[in-house]
Amino acid sequence: MRTATKYIHAGVHPDPATGAIMTPIYQTSTFVQDSPGKHKGYEYARTHNPTRSQLQNALAAAENGQYGISFGSGLAATDTLMKLFKPGDEILSTNDLYGGTYRLMRKVWEDYGLKFRFVDMSDVAGISRHLTSATKMIWLETPTNPLIRIIDIRACAAIAKPAGILLAVDNTFASPYLQNPLDLGADIVMHSATKYIGGHSDVVHGCVITNNKQIADQLYFLQNACGAVPGPQDCFLLLRGLKTLHVRMQRHCENGEKVAHFLRRHPRVAKVHWCGFEDHPNHRIAKEQMRGFGGMMSFELKDNTVEAAIKVLSSTQIFACAESLGGVESLIGHPASMTHASIPREERIANGLVDSLIRLSVGIEDVNDLIEDLKQAIG
């Protein structure tokens, strides 16, 4: 089944009771049993829900995986993954990553004995020297948030597997349409499905996909035991969003390319971070492991001050200044004070995330309107 057909049909089926082509919203907390333990596959909605079951199947199919596990948010999905480990275990993470993930690792799980180290993974050859006997998982984003660095997933898998280390990839920025980490050797894929998979800025959701039955069984257990599950309405919205992922991503990529080139030519822009440029440090890898370069980018102004950045963010009329990304509408954000504020400033600066950095999530509006909006805002 080819990609576009898969997103619309794989993992789902018409409702057997009515023939409804769209999966119904099973808005119920419990299910009647004929007698104790004798039921139709569903007992209690935290454990299983028919709407969620179809979504999990569809998400697994989208990532070419066997098992999909849904959660109430992307951070709930990441939090559950951390529960696979024990005090003293170490997770080696990329140093350019979503601030909420950093906060969860440093401010929550370190207090429970897990250890985290954050290193530059753009040069995969350097990863091996950071591994220790305590390293149990390598965690990476690619493209990274917000500096759009590219990490070679296949090369990371070649390092992790012989050492018995799990490889987990936050695939939020790429979406399943542009990149499938399981096909490249990853053990686990995580999405903040709030973003591109949902695509309409109207639902919060997270998911994990894997081909490893042992990991899947542990995650299904934790999903039920800890209870960070999405409601059926949220699952319905994700199923709807997934059906149009391919057409939306095509426009995100088209618009993103034009906006990136516009910014690079602008006399007041110092640097544009976008993996589609041929001189991007890992452009070749992006081209090999992705089907397009996406609509996420960030840029720095020549006037490298917070004030200059805030002025731009406050002047756009189509780009909305807001958290999040991946919706049909274009968003603009200031990572240092918004999505990455939880990372200490000295660490942000050391990793290249300057105070004036501006992040764009390029939507699917008419690209000429988007360019004109940025032109008047930057001045």
Among all residues, which ones are annotated catalytic? 46, 98, 170, 195
Phi and psi at 291, nearest 5°, equal: -95, 0
Q: Which residues lie below 8 Å from residue 43, measured CB to CB, with a gap of 6+?
A: 30, 31, 33
Neighbours of 270 (CB within 10 A): 13
CA 317 vs CA 336, 337, 369: distances in Å: 22, 20, 10
CB 60 within 8 A of CB 202: no
Side-chain-side CA neighbours of 163 within 13 Å: the count stands at 20
Q: Which residues lie below 8 Å from residue 278, measured CB to CB, with a gap of 6+?
A: none
Instruction: Measure the CA–CA gap between 63 and 59, rounded to whole angstroms.
Output: 7
Task: Give the closest residue to 65 by CA, choosing from 202, 203, 194, 169.
Answer: 169
Reduce the DSSP state of residue 300 to 3 states and report it: strand
Residue with tokens 């997103």: 7
Instruction: Measure the CA–CA gap between 64 and 126, rounded to whole angstroms.
Output: 29
State the first-to-last Cα distance of the chain, in angstroms, to the nearest integer: 48
